[in-house]
Structure 1
């Protein structure tokens, strides 16, 4: 494999005219947000324009679980007390300051901006008022995500610890709430990252090096309260079938009994188009006549209403959700090459590697608007997919992809300790949580199990287990390097490329990483002292900067157009590395790490990408039939 950062040495030699391309409204590097009270962004790192808009009392206020909504909820995000203590110590006697939840201690927007080593633990404390509970109502405490081992104490009572950085978790705290007083919530988090047994993705203890990120310790998604009835819907499992024109909805219910039924309705434009009833914890099948299919160009979503009903007709609980009808599979195209088919039609997948990392929020975007910007930008650049790399995003990210029509290849975050039975069991446990948490999102079209051999073990056994559990999606067992002969796709990483594995009889050939052309933009590097390009980076708007962008676009266009002969030879998908510059030493993104400057005009990049996709449409004839059952 050849790495493309060396292309930087060639860039200044090229000189086509191209103006600087700023994102409208982007804040200059180093801008500082002001806020009342004891909080301000930490001094370290770069602030995005969305980070500059963060204010106390308005921190991640959107409903955190779009796939299962209720009306009553209470947001606990905001200023909490914090302390960083040795791991072996108990709850701190004194607090060291305030931290803005849900940003981790290392993040600029937390107001702390301090590292937390594997020998330390991050502690939190906050008080809140409990809603008044009536008629047997229950109170749930939800954490969208916390890294990695989390201990929770409410009013001095220890709740069950949670292990896992990327899955949400909840507690029924009804019996722990004290009436007529403020409740005291204490939380501790410990994260050994790549020095421990857990799936941690690209987190690296110490100074991030080649391709890696800072360790994130603590709460990184919304913390919230929810009031529910005594018997309530815990979760929904939604599985559509384009082939049968049906959707299966399984409402999982807490404490179901024989006097309770579930009622499910599908709505389109506010009108009920299908209804059915059933029993808790069992699939309810609904048939849709001439269903509208979801695709990037038509991301149509049906509304779902699920009620828990007593035999007397009294509605006990109601949740709303949504789903889409779409199918994804690999089968032979008219030219005989295995290709990816979306809704029964060949579809070339083209998109960037997307790591969801922000210079001011780490794995937590500064706001819902910031997160939405990323997805809209990928669509406006002409991409129809992205590879979500080594991170499981907040659920609202997938909701926005569902709404905006961006297909997602979802990585399982890597665990670098793969040698012990305990670490392998932890990997599978957290893999199971990811599959469960993202199952209902139509945007997720493929699971990527391992990346470049990181923590790779039992590859085919795990891949077959995933395929049995979720036959509605493709499986990429090993993105790059160590392929074991099974899966819907065979995935190559070729830098700078592009390239491909030779076409096969029963698997699609895809390019999971490629490109990576460096274009550092002065004033938009996370920490100049950490960047490979810290010296002689031209200032934005100068003639040298304009030449640099022009040269970058020449290389990107050459890379993208070189996909065309590969498509003719059977290439089914391609990923450019990457969407946004990394904070460590990679300035190879389509946009800077603060999302302040595109490396070329959006219309120019989109024009090239759409030309590639139009070329691929030439292979959009009906398929030539099924593949071997070996990889099904």
Structure 2
């Protein structure tokens, strides 16, 4: 629905679909594609009348609608300043007497337009949509020339948002021509209620006085309404209402849209607009005896599982190459089990918002921030822009919140304005008069759109003024640190509290939620790539422990050029969180279930073999789907017994599932294995039909008291004698680069080479006959980063990083690439006394939640050392003739030789398996 039919002529035009599926007329012409272009570094174009020059005056071509700094524009030159566009074309509206409008999705920043040498109009602002009527200057019988002059000089007063990943310069959203009758509908606002009532405010522009009818036809005629009108010349405001019987409510789970058309009929022609609305109500309410509110959707609590979306594409920058990619963005978020997205410091294109409406994803839409001081010019420019943005996007049912400012950007005065160092991180430059301006903007938005939640400032400096959402940001690593921080915020959140507010303002009962969190900025030395799976799981458990919290925004959806903590890589490829190996079938979506089992315990803890451990549990429910039912809690404690999945303990319990919020459950009592193991407590919540509602887990490092090295009996193998060799105990190595990690529990070799160990087998007094020998170890390939060879180069994360400065991620000390679709293979060859006895393929150099020991033994939570890395269990059995020889000699030289992919060896306190190199003798 609402797509222009594609023909052989249109398929080569970039972004051929209609740009506004929420407001579409049939008679239009797409102006995307090749335009003539030239820069104007000396600002001489107007003086030289370039608006009237022929094609030869333009030095090159550009592909619209892509920013001239982006690769897809065909220019790819990040040059601030002035650019001129020219396009010659013929187009005739489908009916005589039509009014013709030239429409722009967005142009950054100042724009002047001429049609056939006649100045059509000017516009300022980088994000708002605008149009000019060009009826009088248009020649429907012949060629027409459109000239656009754009100017983007990155002034401090410009609302720029976070463009540093790739600048949006010039035309960066679609351009098109549109025909309308003399009387037409300028815009319409739909306000919906869950009882089916729909209130409509329409602006109608009339060419003269007369009678008319405004009719509504939606849901294939299931919803119809007609309003008779008496129009006067010029702009008319019309208020009407109708009721939808048995309304189907819009939500992320059931994103039903009432699609159809508006039709304005009368003496001056017929205007038909294809559009849609969704019936839903956004609010906040107290439940039970609580004195704080939760966010509600359609009158019920909704837990907001969200992500921060920078909307950056590596070829189009902030303009998506295709409509399909915008659709896929929404799909990829929903695939994770997310139900909302915060669009960061900018509005997105209308078509992306359409896909959020169509597929079902709540949207928190930020207003773009400026970077300078909040002087009168900045305020005026900002206010003009936000009026356009909110007016354009008002009808999208997916949008539930407007965010007026982000992290006090553009709100600080004085010499530190625009800085992220020194006192700019405090509140002393956020002056009282600016705070009052923020309050005015909040109240203006509230009056303009009472249907949504308004946030004054998405706060990272504890500086709300007046807001519908009590939010805060944090970037902290470490279980204890996050637990303490979140608990403190929750404890200080109550009506009348001064916490998180500035200027003598205090909290009301606004819903508490986190609006930015992650494990990128909280790591010392920069925003390097590291496994987010481990951190993410315990952070989500901490959030769901607290009844006051009703949502979060994780930073971020995709990696970008200086932050590598996305759910996906920048190109959209997957990262592997490793959850499915811990609990069969588990994905990250399990952590986003509205009905959730909180394991109120550390992500890993050291325990003794055979120990009984009490594990506290909580139920967290923000859906009434299962209320009043009896659910089943199913659990098992399992461990990997050198390649064999072994269950040490298990059980099940019935749970009465009723009521919203967080409540304690009976703790689990689990008995640990009677040997060294990495044990996983896997928990599942099942409904009455036996279907899984959610999954969760924690881990234990079970220590049985056996020596970490030397000779001992292996009780797990029927008393075989085992020699345990520390991985760092090699006699020599032959790698070009070699280093240790995780406090010496892991050794690495770059490229081809070998680690050599001298092995002493049990003497005859300990074991008279050695019949079989097996060598067991944990190993992975070794992806070599620049820091492994050249050393760490820590980079100061100042204001340039917030502008999107590219990161030298491979020099960051915390970088270790999380498991993803890109593989780094190697091969290890086992050599005994110079003779090859076996080879093992190493598929990758992985790091995710399976690397339990590599996380558990990190000495500093925010200064990571190959955290989450782990290997593959390797077993090589020696041929009988070699075992016979070693039975006589009782010692040998063991070499573990790697191919070009390198080699990492994991010891007892690193990786996935609690072992060093084992030589098992039977």
1:173-212, aligned counterparts within 5 Å?
173-193=134-154, 195-203=155-163, 212=164
Please state if 1:74 is matched with 2:18: no
CA drift of 1:590 comes to: 0.8
Q: How many residues align?
A: 527
Please state if 1:331 is matched with 2:285: yes
CA drift of 1:133 comes to: 6.3
Given that 2:183 and 2:269 are in contact with CA atoms closer than 8 Å, whether structure 1 keeps it comes out as: no
Alignment correspondent of 2:247: 291
Structure with more relative contact order (C-alpha pairs < 8 Å, separation 6 or more) = 1
SS in structure 2 at match of 1:571 = coil
Alignment correspondent of 2:574: 597
1:398-437, aligned counterparts within 5 Å?
398-437=353-392
Please state if 1:310 is matched with 2:266: yes
Given that 2:15 and 2:323 are in contact with CA atoms closer than 8 Å, whether structure 1 keeps it comes out as: yes
Given that 1:295 and 1:326 are in contact with CA atoms closer than 8 Å, whether structure 2 keeps it comes out as: yes
User: Structure 1: how far apart are the matches of 2:350 and 2:596?
Assistant: 29
User: Structure 2: how far apart are the matches of 1:418 and 1:264?
Assistant: 48
User: Structure 2: how far apart are the matches of 1:253 and 1:103?
Assistant: 32
How far does the alpha carbon of each residue in 1:292-344 deviate from its partner, in whole angstroms, 9 at most, with x for none? 11111011111242111227xx9621112110111111111225031111101
SS in structure 2 at match of 1:160 = strand
CA drift of 1:618 comes to: 5.1
User: Structure 2: how far apart are the matches of 1:174 and 1:618?
Assistant: 54
SS in structure 2 at match of 1:239 = strand
TM-score normalized with structure 1 length: 0.78
Please state if 1:96 is matched with 2:96: no
How far does the alpha carbon of each residue in 1:67-120 deviate from its partner, in whole angstroms, 9 at most, with x for none? 122111111111111112215221557323211110111111111110122xx2
Structure 1, 383-392 or 600-609: larger mean CA deviation: 600-609
Structure 1, 610-619 or 65-74: larger mean CA deviation: 610-619
Please state if 1:555 is matched with 2:515: no
Specify whether residues 488 and 622 from structure 1 end up closer, same or farther in structure 2 by C-alpha distance, changes over 3 A only: farther
How far does the alpha carbon of each residue in 1:548-588 deviate from its partner, in whole angstroms, 9 at most, with x for none? 6xx4322222222221113x2x01110100001112x1111
CA drift of 1:396 comes to: 0.8
User: Structure 2: how far apart are the matches of 1:129 and 1:232?
Assistant: 24
Specify whether residues 135 and 180 from structure 1 end up closer, same or farther in structure 2 by C-alpha distance, changes over 3 A only: closer
SS in structure 1 at match of 2:587 = helix
Given that 1:236 and 1:251 are in contact with CA atoms closer than 8 Å, whether structure 2 keeps it comes out as: yes
> For structure 2, which runs of at least 5 residues remain unmatched after alignment?
1-9, 51-55, 230-235, 412-433, 477-481, 496-508, 580-585, 598-618, 625-657, 662-922
Alignment correspondent of 1:108: 71
Structure 1, 427-436 or 480-489: larger mean CA deviation: 480-489
Given that 1:153 and 1:185 are in contact with CA atoms closer than 8 Å, whether structure 2 keeps it comes out as: yes
Alignment correspondent of 2:227: 277
Alignment correspondent of 1:384: 339
Match of residue 456, structure 2, among 477, 481, 486: 477
SS in structure 2 at match of 1:176 = coil
Alignment correspondent of 1:617: 621
> For structure 1, which runs of at least 5 residues remain unmatched after alignment?
1-54, 204-211, 520-530, 538-547, 625-632
Alignment correspondent of 1:513: 516
1:132-531, aligned counterparts within 5 Å?
132=93, 134-193=95-154, 195-203=155-163, 212-242=164-194, 245-255=196-206, 257-268=208-219, 270-279=220-229, 281-310=237-266, 316-336=270-290, 337-456=292-411, 457=434, 458-480=437-459, 481-496=461-476, 497=482, 499=486, 500-501=489-490, 502-505=492-495, 506-517=509-520
CA drift of 1:263 comes to: 2.6
Specify whether residues 503 and 518 from structure 1 end up closer, same or farther in structure 2 by C-alpha distance, changes over 3 A only: closer
Specify whether residues 58 and 281 from structure 1 end up closer, same or farther in structure 2 by C-alpha distance, changes over 3 A only: same
Given that 1:265 and 1:272 are in contact with CA atoms closer than 8 Å, whether structure 2 keeps it comes out as: no
User: Structure 1: how far apart are the matches of 2:347 and 2:202?
Assistant: 24
How far does the alpha carbon of each residue in 1:585-618 deviate from its partner, in whole angstroms, 9 at most, with x for none? 1111111112233354796222222277675425
SS in structure 2 at match of 1:455 = coil
User: Structure 2: how far apart are the matches of 1:105 and 1:56?
Assistant: 22
SS in structure 2 at match of 1:186 = strand
User: Structure 2: how far apart are the matches of 1:604 and 1:611?
Assistant: 15
Larger radius of gyration: 2
Specify whether residues 386 and 181 from structure 1 end up closer, same or farther in structure 2 by C-alpha distance, changes over 3 A only: same
Specify whether residues 273 and 622 from structure 1 end up closer, same or farther in structure 2 by C-alpha distance, changes over 3 A only: farther
Specify whether residues 465 and 199 from structure 1 end up closer, same or farther in structure 2 by C-alpha distance, changes over 3 A only: same
How far does the alpha carbon of each residue in 1:115-137 deviate from its partner, in whole angstroms, 9 at most, with x for none? 122xx211111111121564321
Specify whether residues 371 and 599 from structure 1 end up closer, same or farther in structure 2 by C-alpha distance, changes over 3 A only: farther
SS in structure 2 at match of 1:430 = helix
CA drift of 1:241 comes to: 2.4
Please state if 1:587 is matched with 2:564: yes
SS in structure 2 at match of 1:488 = coil
Alignment correspondent of 2:602: none
CA drift of 1:518 comes to: 8.7
Q: CA RMSD in A?
A: 2.6
Alignment correspondent of 2:733: none
CA drift of 1:421 comes to: 1.4
1:112-127, aligned counterparts within 5 Å?
112-117=75-80, 120-127=81-88
Specify whether residues 305 and 381 from structure 1 end up closer, same or farther in structure 2 by C-alpha distance, changes over 3 A only: same
Given that 1:563 and 1:612 are in contact with CA atoms closer than 8 Å, whether structure 2 keeps it comes out as: no
Alignment correspondent of 1:565: 545
Given that 2:31 and 2:177 are in contact with CA atoms closer than 8 Å, whether structure 1 keeps it comes out as: yes
SS in structure 1 at match of 2:264 = strand
Structure 1, 176-185 or 593-602: larger mean CA deviation: 593-602
Given that 1:387 and 1:408 are in contact with CA atoms closer than 8 Å, whether structure 2 keeps it comes out as: yes
1:20-31, aligned counterparts within 5 Å?
none
How far does the alpha carbon of each residue in 1:120-161 deviate from its partner, in whole angstroms, 9 at most, with x for none? 211111111121564321111111111111111111122211
SS in structure 2 at match of 1:141 = strand
CA drift of 1:286 comes to: 0.6
Structure 1, 419-428 or 352-361: larger mean CA deviation: 419-428
SS in structure 2 at match of 1:562 = helix
SS in structure 1 at match of 2:214 = strand
User: Structure 1: how far apart are the matches of 2:590 and 2:520?
Assistant: 18
Alignment correspondent of 2:629: none
Specify whether residues 306 and 494 from structure 1 end up closer, same or farther in structure 2 by C-alpha distance, changes over 3 A only: same
User: Structure 2: how far apart are the matches of 1:217 and 1:589?
Assistant: 26
SS in structure 1 at match of 2:305 = strand
CA drift of 1:418 comes to: 3.7
Whichever structure has more strand as a proportion of its residues is: 2
User: Structure 1: how far apart are the matches of 2:567 and 2:289?
Assistant: 33
